[in-house]
Every structure is written in C-alpha cells, then in structure tokens.
Amino acid sequence: MTIGPLRLHSYWRSSAAYRVRIALELKGQPYEIAPVHLLRGGGEQHSPQFQELNPQEFVPVLMHGGRTLRQSMAIIEYLDETWPEPPLLPTVARDRQRARAIAQMIACDIHPLNNLRVQRYLEEHLEADEADRERWTRHWITEGLDAVEKVLADNPSTGEFCEGDVPTIADCCLVPQVYNAQRFGVSLDPWPNIRRINDACLATEEFNKARPENQPDAPAS
C-alpha cells in the first residue's frame, strides 16, 4: 500500500522514537526523519509549531497520508495493520497478548518515569540534583527490567527474540530501553535473556539502522 511518504518527527536519543524507527525498518518502509531537538533552546517539542502536531509535546510523531499519528505503540500497530508483512504481532492470540504485555511493561511502566519532563520536574520542583535524578532513573529501570527478565526466563514462548523467533513489538520496545539502561550505567549482567535478545536484535540490519548513533541528527562522534 502506498499513500504518500512517511515522515517521522524524531530525536536521535528518544527511545519512543527509536521504537518506531525499528518498526519502520522491519517493515522495509522508506521514511524521512524530521529532527526535533529535545534540549536545544529549552526543547523544540515545546514550540508552537510542534504543539500543533502533538499537544503532548512528545516525539515521535509520524506523518502519513495527510494524517498526524501520535503515540509510539499506536503508531507501531498502525504500521503493522498497514503493511502486514513481516508481522510485528504474533498470529496466535496468547502469543500476541504476551508480546503486547512485554512491550507495555516497558512503554507504560518503565519509560514514562524517566522521561525528560519528569527529570525536569524533579530538578525544578523537588530540588533533586543530578545524582538524585540518576539514582531515580536507575531505580525504575532496574526494577522494571528485573521483571522483564523474569517474564523472559524459562518461558517456552521466549525464542531468539522476546516472543518466538522473529522480532515483535516487544523487541521494538526492549532494545531502546536497554539503550537507556546502558546510557545511565545500569549493568545488564543480572539479565542474561535481555542481554542475549538485545544482541540478537542489534545484529540485524534493521535494528542497526534504527540505532541512535546512526541517525542524521546524532552528533558526529
């Protein structure tokens, strides 16, 4: 199906945008990146122009077919419904439920606590210094990934990837969350399944292309 170009408002380090980039790469759909710098000048996500695209002042936003699509999980499901191959949700209901559950453990219960606006609130209203904020971030990542590891370990549904042997929506969420964990110095040692699946994902061309450091708006290293 072709209904015009795909344009993704993204920030190289945003893990929610990273999820959508992975899904687009897995679908083999060409897309343009429209960078939104989340820090410069207080954050371009707060500009009046961007607020028109997303009143929540978040990336990602995907433009497609004259529509403005928001919320990474809903965008991934839209991509899956628009281009069904390869599927990002398993065909069997119980497997599909498990893939969504793992994805939501990350996207609903870990990531929001560590978002930039939460960090800013801690700093500006609760007088949390940088060390406090990093402790906060590491705490929620560790507690959340501990639970994800338990769900992955010793479960016959876990395969090469989180659910079975092909990447699903769960892997689209896991890899960006592991990137965040590493960014904040959280060791993956307690989580052998998470580490193995993250390595398997990043060994593929699709996940590799979506990596933060491979984005046009990433600073030159």
Ligand X SMILES: N[C@@H](CCC(=O)N[C@@H](CS)C(=O)NCC(=O)O)C(=O)O
Which residues sit at the interface with ligand X, rule CB under 6 A?
14-16, 38, 43, 45, 57-60, 71-73, 107, 115-117
Smallest distance from ligand X to CB 70, Å: 7
C-beta of 10 vs 198, nearer to ligand X: 10
Angle, helices 72-82 vs 93-107, to 10°: value is: 150
Q: Considering beta carbons, is residue 58 or 136 the nearer one to ligand X?
A: 58
Q: Give Cβ neighbours of residue 96 (< 8 Å, ≥ 6 apart).
A: 89, 90
**CB closer to ligand X out of 120 and 135:** 120
DSSP letter string over 159-182? -SSSSBTS--HHHHHHHHHHHHHH
The minimum distance between CB 74 and ligand X, in angstroms, equals: 8
When the beta carbons of 72 and 198 are compared against ligand X, the nearer one is 72
- Closest distance of CB 154 from ligand X, Å: 29
- Whole-angstrom distance, CA of residue 149 vs CA of residue 190: 9
Edge-to-edge strands of the sheet including 32-35?
32-35, 6-10, 61-64, 67-70
CB of 201 to ligand X, least distance (A): 18
Give me the least distance between CB of 26 and ligand X, in Å please: 17
Nearest distance from residue 61's CB to ligand X, in Å? 8
| Distance, first Cα to last Cα, the chain | 38
Side-chain half-sphere CA neighbours of 170 within 13 A: 29
Complex with ligand X: residue 17 or 162, whichever CB lies closer: 17
Q: What are phi and psi of 9, to 5 degrees?
A: -80, 120
Closest C-alpha to 23, from 86, 109, 69, 113: 86
Name which of 16 and 148 has its Cβ closer to ligand X: 16
How far is residue 101's CA from residue 187's CA, in Å, rounded to a whole number? Answer: 24
Q: Are 134 and 123 contacting, i.e. CB atoms less than 8 angstroms apart?
A: no
